[in-house]
Amino acid sequence: MKQVTLNIPDNKYQFFIELVKSLNFVKVDDSPYNSKFVAKIEKSQKEFKNGEFTRVKQDELQNLLGLE
């Protein structure tokens, strides 16, 4: 699979998106967010929900970060 990045003038964007969406072999990801970053956030949310996290007390934070 190939990925293409295009620069479309603002006044032609909506027309272009509708045209491309009409092609059954093209997936349009017009999210303003980086998909890899979003996947990392969603994974973190799932891990947190499943209890896969570590708690750090506020008074231990500076030591943990090596600031003391």
> How confident is the model over 13-58, as pLDDT tens digits?
999 989 988 998 888 877 788 888 999 999 999 999 999 998 988 8
For residue 67 the two structure tokens come to: 């600031």
Q: 48 and 41 in contact (C-beta within 8 Å)?
A: no
pLDDT, position 27: 82
pLDDT grade for 4, boundaries at 50, 70 and 90: confident
- C-alpha–C-alpha distance, residues 29 and 41, integer Å: 18
Which pTM does this prediction carry? 0.46
